[in-house]
Copies of this chain bind each other. A is one copy, B any other.
Amino acid sequence: MRRVFCFLCCALFFCFLMTSQADSEETNTLNMSRQTKRCLDCHENASPGIVEDWRASLHSATTPKMALAKERLTRRMSADSVKENLGDVIVGCYECHSLNTDKHQDSFNHFGLKINVVVSPQDCSICHPSEVKEYVPSKKGYAFSNLEKNPVYKTLVKTVISQKAIKDEKVEMLEESDHTKMDTCYGCHGTEVKVDGLKKVFSGPLILNVPNLINWPNQGVGRINPDGSQGSCAACHPRHSFSIDIARKPYTCAQCHLEPDVPAWNVYKESKHANIYSSKFIYWNFKEVPWVLGKDFMTPTCAACHNSLIVTPKNKVIAERTHDFGARLWVRIFGLIYSHAQPAKGETYIIKNKDGLPMPTDFITNPASEYLINRDEQSARKKGMMNLCIACHSTGWVENHFVKLDSTIAETDKMVLNATLLLTDAWGKNLADKTNPFDEVIEHKWITQWLFYANSIRYASAMTGAPDYAAFKNGWWEMTKNLTAMEDWIKVHKNK
């Protein structure tokens, strides 16, 4: 009997310790590689924040073999096997920063070890190949190239972020800098990280020779890495905790998908979904795999609808995991002049519309259909999304919601077309010059019509409600006011 008490007390004490210590304090050193031990010896002092972040991660407490032993739904590794030397040690500094060094231009000799500064999707794919295979060819994977290789976008970028000079009372465009590219568009889209030899850095008492990275730091989703690969897993799984709960929280997506041009986060925040999320998230579990609707969480975050593996409390799969974030979408509602069917491929710069431009529609709404998914694919994806909604809403509710969305998309496209007609009129009357369609007052108004306002309304309609956003914030009020202001601008400039 005493032993039973003893056991119970110990068990209780242990449980108590577990709950009061959110993270284990000591790294499990049992299965740590010799090289990672060496890394930690210095970096514990040189960069303690990185080390502690990693210590709180699953990587520091798991070997690939342990991860491989899990059943399909609960598995976090998609590889079937890993090389012997990696399987039995926890996933430490060296295990990730020493992969594919031959391909890495940022590889360097660091106290006798060959180390890459940047860990790329190609490296992560050793253990997580499915995720990388989905991500890399997607629009996100191509986010850098889709901006850089599309002359229309390049012109918009240059017009906005280039240095300017004033000459004869006129604003003149100069060049844009790489630094400002990193601060703005390429901060989200990703930069092309290059290596320009080695440079000396002073690290405490030491002088080190390290790769001189250009266009770095950057964690944009389509980053071109020094091993030639594209993408950045750290964009959504930041730093060294690689935490799935961070990726599932909406703040991750909100880094780039926010007002005024991609207001997914702002619209979500106003919705009923977010009302419940914000009120209740502290009681929810964002760590479990698979993610159980109704047990782990009650309302969706971005991840739930767009990429996570979701199951019912009875373990029935509602949606399979995907790291192609457009895979569940049938229509593209932002970023371009008019809405259109999702592009068939991640490389959107290959599209050619009727005007010969790499844009998914022409100037008056006609789609470049051969580069876009067809109606069957659209229907299939829409049905998949409806299946997610139906887990919490009645079928009639869901059907009505999507009929409304279709109507909103059509109406906003017309409101953009109205702005295009006024702009064309101004061009026709020589009140503005169409050479660069992005650099004059009336052209700025036209841009806001599609890039800010039509987008916002479509998001508000799609994501189940942000009525004030669609009305007065960045919605119908602004769209209507903008048309009136364009009309007024034409009138004032015509009569001069």
Q: Are B396 and A484 in contact (CB under 8 A)?
A: no
Determine, out of A79-87, A246-254, A354-362, the stretch whose residues face the partner at the interface: A246-254
For A163, the chain B residues whose CB sits under 8 A away are: 411, 414-415
Query: Nearest chain B CB to A145's CB is how many angstroms away?
Result: 17
Q: Are A490 and B13 in contact (CB under 8 A)?
A: no
A103: interface (CB < 8 Å): no
A294: interface (CB < 8 Å): yes
Kindly identify which residue among B117, B312, B487 contacts A48, using a CB–CB cutoff of 8 Å: B312
Q: Are B294 and A271 in contact (CB under 8 A)?
A: no
A333: interface (CB < 8 Å): no
Q: Are A179 and B48 in contact (CB under 8 A)?
A: no
| With A183-B471, A212-B396 already in contact, 12 other A-B pairs whose C-beta atoms are closer than 8 Å | A19-B19, A47-B394, A48-B294, A48-B313, A56-B298, A117-B394, A164-B418, A166-B421, A183-B404, A201-B395, A203-B390, A213-B396
Determine, out of A29-37, A125-133, A369-377, A472-480, the stretch whose residues face the partner at the interface: A472-480
Contact status of A170 and B487, CB under 8 A, knowing A48-B314, A183-B461: yes
Q: Are A48 and B293 in contact (CB under 8 A)?
A: yes
Contacts A/B (CB < 8 Å), 8 sampled: A19-B19, A19-B20, A49-B293, A49-B392, A188-B467, A188-B468, A249-B279, A258-B468
Contact status of A276 and B246, CB under 8 A, knowing A48-B312, A212-B396, A313-B48: yes
Report the Cα distance A470→B385, complex, angstroms: 33
Report the Cα distance A160→B457, complex, angstroms: 13
Q: Are B16 and A16 in contact (CB under 8 A)?
A: yes
A400: interface (CB < 8 Å): yes
**For residues 399 through 435 of chain A, which have their beta carbon under 8 Å from a beta carbon of chain B?**
399-401, 403-404, 407-408, 411, 414-415, 418, 421-422, 425
A-side interface size class: 35 or more
A151: interface (CB < 8 Å): no
For A475, the chain B residues whose CB sits under 8 A away are: 184
For A400, the chain B residues whose CB sits under 8 A away are: 213, 216-217
For A468, the chain B residues whose CB sits under 8 A away are: 187-188, 256, 258-259, 261-262
Q: Specify which of A1, A280, A314 lies most central, judged by the most chain B CB atoms within 10 Å of its CB.
A: A280
Q: Specify which of A245, A270, A279, A452 lies most central, judged by the most chain B CB atoms within 10 Å of its CB.
A: A279
Q: Are B298 and A47 in contact (CB under 8 A)?
A: no
Which chain B residue lies CB-closest to A417?
Answer: B166
Q: Are A313 and B282 in contact (CB under 8 A)?
A: no
A52: interface (CB < 8 Å): yes
**For residues 317 through 374 of chain A, which have their beta carbon under 8 Å from a beta carbon of chain B?**
none
Q: Are A485 and B441 in contact (CB under 8 A)?
A: yes
Q: Contact mask A172-187 → B, CB, 8 Å, 1/0?
A: 0000010110111111
Q: Are A407 and B177 in contact (CB under 8 A)?
A: yes
A5: interface (CB < 8 Å): yes
A69: interface (CB < 8 Å): no
Determine, out of A59-67, A134-142, A236-244, the stretch whose residues face the partner at the interface: A236-244
Kindly identify which residue among B9, B117, B392, B471 contacts A161, using a CB–CB cutoff of 8 Å: B471
Q: Are A9 and B12 in contact (CB under 8 A)?
A: yes
For A6, the chain B residues whose CB sits under 8 A away are: 5
Q: Are A47 and B216 in contact (CB under 8 A)?
A: no
Which chain B residue lies CB-closest to A208?
Answer: B395
Kindly identify which residue among B53, B182, B239, B444 contacts A481, using a CB–CB cutoff of 8 Å: B444
**For residues 93 through 149 of chain A, which have their beta carbon under 8 Å from a beta carbon of chain B?**
117
Query: Nearest chain B CB to A29's CB is how many angstroms away?
Result: 16
A75: interface (CB < 8 Å): no
Which chain B residue lies CB-closest to A474?
Answer: B260
A165: interface (CB < 8 Å): yes
